[in-house]
Structure formats: structure tokens, C-alpha cells
Structure 1
Amino acid sequence: MARPAPDTTRPTAVAVLDEAVCALAPDAGANRLVARIGAGQAPRSVFATFALEQHQVIAADRLSFRHLARRADGDPPVADFFDLLARGETLALERLAGLADACALTARDLAGYQPRPGCQAYPSYAARLALGAQPADVAIALTANFAAWGGYCAVVEAAMRDHYGFPEAARGFFGLFAEPAPDVEEQARAAVQHGLDTGQARPATAHRYGRLLQAYELMFWNSVDG
């Protein structure tokens, strides 16, 4: 008996994620600060501000990812993706300590810092998504954002070495995100495929979330510079 032909009209996670990354990619030159850092033209003080702001962002995003993992408890591939992201934020916080040390920031500096609204819009929106958005859609939106974020981190890490003379420990945070993350990519594909198979994922809705995440990402960088 002949096997039925595969359903080629059904979207796959790979296709959905590739489309999101391409469709939601920020315009070239939109990130003014990264361009200035890449050229060695930004003041060294932006790195201290970045560390102070990211200390707040990481703590907030880790809570959001943990909440998304709990909300997706009945959908293991999706829950596993967000659990992996939450654990990654813990590692990121450890790496950020190297930058804070290089910028001579103390524990008191971190605790007493008053964050800039423009820098905290991203984690605030991520928390909103964690509360009410379909987790599989959030996975799509985040994957597009991570592609842009990784590119920014690669430029900054290289510039810190070539233009600013930061030691390896200070560059570790950016190096973490500049490198490929096959585990995250694999888990994202599994999460999104599960969302597609169960009818939970809605790529058009995910793109709406992703556009805002990308806009808030740019707002973060440009607010560090402002």
C-alpha cells in the first residue's frame, strides 16, 4: 500500500523561525550605540551604564522566563525552552560581573542604581508577554530578537578588545551571546514545532510581539547612550 504524501502545506518550526528572523530584523544602522562602539567612538562610560542596566534586565527576564516555563507546564517542549532561557540568565549574570568589575562598580553601585525607563522597557514588555501571551508565540518572537541581540554582542565584544582594551573577563558577557547557541536553537525549534502541531502557535501574532521586542531592544541601547 502506497504511503500518503507528506503535507507540504503545513508550516514547520524551521520555516516559521527563519521567516521571523528575516521579517523582524532591524534596519541596518538603527542601533546607533553599537555602531559607535564598533568604531571605537563611544565613551568608555557607556559600558558601566550597560552593566548597571543589564543587571536589572537579567533579573527581570529570568523571572519572566520562569513564569513562562510554569505556564507551559503541560507542554514539555515549550516549558523546556523557557527553563533553558532562565538558566541562561543566571549564567549571564555571572558573566556580567566581569564587566562590572572592569568598570569599578561595587555592590552598592548596583543596588542603588536608578534605572533608565528606556532601558527597562524591554523587560517590562517581556513580563507582559509572560503574563498573557501564548508561550509558543513568545518563543518565536524571542528567537527573532535573539538573532539581533547576538549580532550586537559580537560587534561590542570585538570592539571592547580592539578599541577599548578590556580584558577577556570583562568581555565574557558579550562573548556568551555572540557565540552560536545550538542548544537554545534546538529547544526553540522543538517548542515552536509543538506549538504548531497543537495549534497553539500563531506566527502572525508572534510577529506583532517580535516587532515590539525589537523596538524595545533598540530603545535599550539608545537609552544607554542617552
Structure 2
Amino acid sequence: MTTAVELLRTTTGRLAPDPAANRLVPLIARGAARRETLAALALEEREVVAADRRAFLHLAGRPDAGPECAAYFRALAEGEEEAGRRLGPLLTACGADRPGAADAHEPLAGCRAYPAYVAWLALNADPVDVVLALTANFAAWGGYCETVARALRQHYGFDDEACAFFDLFAGPAPDLEHRAQAAVRAGLEAGRVHEDLVHRYGRLLRSYESMFWHTLWETDRERGERTAGR
């Protein structure tokens, strides 16, 4: 019988993104992304954090979640709450907290697709299947955050406080990993894991994650073309 640890590992491996799929993170890593793009990234993350926190709290409160899944999603919600507190200095460093800056930013549909799908999962998917799909996606997200945090320090002069949002997700999270294992283990024992659906959910999460970054990359490219055309 497949164990929770094995299932988490194989699911994460199968859903790993194409290394070339994310064009924005390498751009930031080289210090080539525009500060306006960094500001847009911070503003969009503010919306994602708020939406995901509510989705995780809903999942934790669902009657079919079970204590293990509920604990996992409560931990995620607490993480999003901490992330929200850390966004302030990042917004300041990007210049996104200047008067009128947030109002001038037009919401990007490609960036809003990911939290919209997380909300759909919160309403429609079996909680343990969501645990598996999210855990697989978080592996790539952590690597992106590590790269961005390092680049913001090296190329943009951001201090530790301004990088704290990305630092939060860049490091290992053994407690969350243990909670995920416990949730999946309980789901396996109850016969609640639907691997075909997990891979569908994970594939779509991966696609929407890529869309988030690609939308911001396109925005940066369009800004460059407008500048060059002046």
C-alpha cells in the first residue's frame, strides 16, 4: 500500500513545472525586471494572500475536512496572515504604497486565475485531494521565492524587511510537511484520496501558477516596448 510520504513525493514529482515555464523569475534574478513590474507583483500578491487565506479557512471549517486536514489548512491560513503582515515593507520598497499607486494598478486577469481556482477547490474538491495538489504546487513556489528574495537584495537594494515576504516561503516548512503527511495518511486510511482528481487539480494549479508569472512577464515586456517606442 502506498504511504502518505510516498504519495506526496510522487505527486510532487509528477506535477513539477517545466523549468522554462517561468520567464519572470529569471528576469528578476538578472536584475532586469522593471521596478514597476515588481510593484505589480507585490500588489497582485496582496490580493492572492487575502483570497487564499479565506479559502484555507473555509477548507478548515468544512465538515468533511477531518481534524488532520483542518489542522493543515489552519496552518496555511496562519501563514497567509503572516505573509500579509510582511507585504507592507515590500510594497513600500517597490513604491506601490504611494498615494494612488494601488488605484492606478489595473487588476491582471492572468494573476487572479490562481486564487480563483483555489477558491473553487475550497468549495468543490475533497479536502485531502486539495492537500495533495497544493503541496505539490508549493514545492515550485518556494524555489521561486528563494530566487526572488536573493535577487531583490543583490540587484535592487532591498533590505531584509522588504524581502521578508519571499523569505517566509523560501525556507523549509517541516511542521507544514508533517501536517500534510498526517492529512494524507488519514485520507488514505479512509479511502478518500482520488489520485486522478489530485493530478487534475495539481495540473491546473500548475498552469494557473505559470499564468500568474507569465502575465507579469508580459506586462514587463510591454512596458519595455512602450519605452523603446518613445
Q: TM-score, normalised by structure 1?
A: 0.92
Consecutive aligned runs of 4 or more in structure 1 exceeding 4 Å deviation: none
Task: Give % identity.
Answer: 51
Cα contact 2:40–2:105 (8 A) shared by 1 = no
84-93 vs 38-47, greater mean Cα deviation: 38-47
For the residues of structure 2 that align with 1:84 and 1:111, how far apart are their CA atoms? 32
- Equivalent residue number for residue 169 of structure 2: 177
Q: Which amino acid aligns with 2:27?
A: R
- Equivalent residue number for residue 84 of structure 1: 75
For the residues of structure 2 that align with 1:187 and 1:202, how far apart are their CA atoms? 19
Ranges in structure 2 where 5+ consecutive residues have no aligned partner:
220-230
Cα contact 1:140–1:203 (8 A) shared by 2 = no
| Residue 219 of structure 1, aligned match among 207, 211, 221 | 211
For the residues of structure 1 that align with 2:35 and 2:106, how far apart are their CA atoms? 20
For the residues of structure 2 that align with 1:42 and 1:109, how far apart are their CA atoms? 18
Ranges in structure 1 where 5+ consecutive residues have no aligned partner:
1-9
| Residue 34 of structure 1, aligned match among 25, 31, 38 | 25
Shift of 1:74: 5.6
- Equivalent residue number for residue 194 of structure 2: 202
Higher helix residue share: 2
Q: Summarize deviations over 1:65-97 as a string: whole Å, max 9, x none.
A: 011111156610011000110111000001111
Shift of 1:204: 2.2
Q: Which amino acid aligns with 1:167?
A: D
Q: TM-score, normalised by structure 2?
A: 0.90
User: What RMSD over aligned residues (CA atoms) do the two structures have, in Å?
Assistant: 1.4
| Residue 150 of structure 1, aligned match among 128, 142, 154 | 142
Cα contact 2:136–2:202 (8 A) shared by 1 = yes
The count of aligned residue pairs is 217
Shift of 1:104: 2.5
Cα contact 1:136–1:200 (8 A) shared by 2 = yes
For the residues of structure 1 that align with 2:30 and 2:61, how far apart are their CA atoms? 42
